[in-house]
């Protein structure tokens, strides 16, 4: 039995389909890897933001405590304004 033109066309179409399917699977795999990397990067970013918020809160609380301490000490005549300024710069 001899191969006809139609058989060759069907064979070529099948080969093209196989190549295209391989390309699709490769791209799908690359997309999944990129999505995974994006999720990990987003998770890391959220952790950094949370750490930043915590450190900002800690600094704000420290300043607030120093300010309250300053007000209390100045109000009772324990330290003057210049002494507090030098103390404030030492803790930074």
pLDDT in tens, the chain (92 residues): 555 667 888 899 999 999 999 999 999 999 999 999 999 999 999 999 998 888 776 666 666 655 565 555 555 555 555 555 555 444 44
d(CA 35, CA 47): 18
Cβ-based burial of 73 (10 A; exposed 0-12, middle 13-18, buried ≥19): middle
Name the pTM for this structure.
0.50
Domain ranges of the chain: 8-91
């Amino acid at each position: 039995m001899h191969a006809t033109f139609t058989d060759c066309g069907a064979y070529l179409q099948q080969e093209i389909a196989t190549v295209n399917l391989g390309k699709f699977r490769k791209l799908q795999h690359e997309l999944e890897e990129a999505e995974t990397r994006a999720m990990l990067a987003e998770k890391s970013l959220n952790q950094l933001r949370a750490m930043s918020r915590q450190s900002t809160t800690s600094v704000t609380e420290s300043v607030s405590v120093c300010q309250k301490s300053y007000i209390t000490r100045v109000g009772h005549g324990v330290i003057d304004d210049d002494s507090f300024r030098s103390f404030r710069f030492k803790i930074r």
